[in-house]
Amino acid sequence: MVPETKSIIGAYGSWAASLQTQPSLSFRNARWKPEQLTRWKKEALEKTRELVAAPPQPATPEVRIERTFEYDGLTIEEISWQLPYGRPTRAVVLKPKGAKEPLPAILALHDHAGKKYFGYRKIVKTGDDQHPLLAEHQREDYSGRAWANDVAKRGYVVLVHDAFAFGSRRVLYEDVVGLKYEGLDTRGKTDADPEKTEHIEAYNQWSSEHEHVMSKSLFCAGTTWPGVFLSEDQVALSILCARKDVDPQRVGCGGLSGGGLRTVYLAGLDPRIKCCVCVGFMTTWDDFALHKAYTHTWMTYTPLLPRYLDFPEILGLRVPLPTMIQSNNQDELYTLPEMKTADKILGEVFKKAGAGDRYTGRFYDGEHKFDQTMQIDAFDWFDRWLKKAK
pLDDT above 90 for 253: yes
Res 2: pLDDT: 47
Res 1: pLDDT: 41
3-state DSSP of the chain: CCCCCCCCCHHHHHHHHHCCCCCCCCCCCCCCCHHHHHHHHHHHHHHHHHHHCCCCCCCCCCEEEEEEEEECCEEEEEEEECCCCCCCEEEEEEEECCCCCCEEEEEECCCCCCCCCCCHHHCCCCCCCCCHHHHHHHHHHHCCCCHHHHHHHCCCEEEEECCCCCHHHCCCHHHCCCCCCCCCCCCCCCCCCCCCHHHHHHHHHHHHHHHHHHHHHHHHCCCCHHHHHHHHHHHHHHHHHCCCCEEEEEEEEEEECHHHHHHHHHHHHCCCCCEEEEECCCCCHHHHHHHHHHHCCHHHCCCCHHHCCCHHHHHHCCCCCCEEEEEECCCCCCCHHHHHHHHHHHHHHHHHCCCHHHEEEEEECCCCCCCHHHHHHHHHHHHHHHCCCC
- Side-chain-facing half-sphere of 186: CA atoms under 13 Å: 18
Sign of the CA dihedral with 291 first, then 296, 302, and 308 last: negative
User: From CA 223, how far away is CA 215, in angstroms rounded?
Assistant: 9
First to last CA, the chain: 55
> pTM for the complete prediction?
0.95
Residue range 21-33: mean pLDDT, rounded: 92
Res 173: pLDDT: 85
pLDDT above 90 for 21: no
- Is the distance from CB of 358 to CB of 307 less than 8 angstroms? no
Span 123-163, pLDDT tens digits = 999 999 999 999 999 999 999 999 999 999 999 999 999 99
Beta bridge partners of 325: 278, 361
C-alpha of 75 from chain center: 25
- Is the distance from CB of 266 to CB of 253 less than 8 angstroms? yes
Span 34-87, pLDDT tens digits = 999 999 999 999 999 999 999 998 999 999 999 999 999 999 999 999 999 999
* Residue percentage of the chain with pLDDT more than 70: 95
Span 286-306, pLDDT tens digits = 999 999 999 998 999 999 999
Res 17: pLDDT: 85
pLDDT above 70 for 14: yes
Res 272: pLDDT: 98
From residue 1, give the alpha-carbon distance in Å to each of 135, 224, 309, 362: 49, 31, 20, 32
Give the orientation angle of helix 197-220 with respect to helix 225-241, to 10 degrees. Answer: 110
Higher pLDDT, 331 or 298: 331
pLDDT above 70 for 184: no
C-alpha of 292 from chain center: 18
pLDDT above 60 for 183: no
Res 182: pLDDT: 53
pLDDT above 80 for 387: yes
Confidence of residue 194 (pLDDT cuts 50, 70, 90): confident
Residue type, 199: H
Strands 246-256 and 275-279: parallel
Res 53: pLDDT: 98
Contact residues for 364 (Cβ-Cβ < 8 A; gap 6+)? 326, 327, 328, 329, 371, 373, 374
What CATH topology corresponds to 1-390?
Rossmann fold (3.40.50)
Q: What residue segments make up the domains of the chain, in order of their start?
A: 1-390
Res 181: pLDDT: 60
Res 188: pLDDT: 41
Give the orientation angle of helix 225-241 with respect to helix 258-269, to 10 degrees. Answer: 70
Confidence of residue 187 (pLDDT cuts 50, 70, 90): very low
User: From CA 388, how far away is CA 103, in angstroms rounded?
Assistant: 10
Res 178: pLDDT: 82
Res 389: pLDDT: 61
Radius of gyration for the chain, computed over Cα atoms and rounded to the nearest angstrom: 21
Span 87-122, pLDDT tens digits = 999 999 999 999 988 999 999 999 999 999 999 999
Mean pLDDT over each residue of the chain, to the nearest integer: 94
User: From CA 240, how far away is CA 226, in angstroms rounded?
Assistant: 21
Residue type, 386: L
Confidence of residue 215 (pLDDT cuts 50, 70, 90): very high
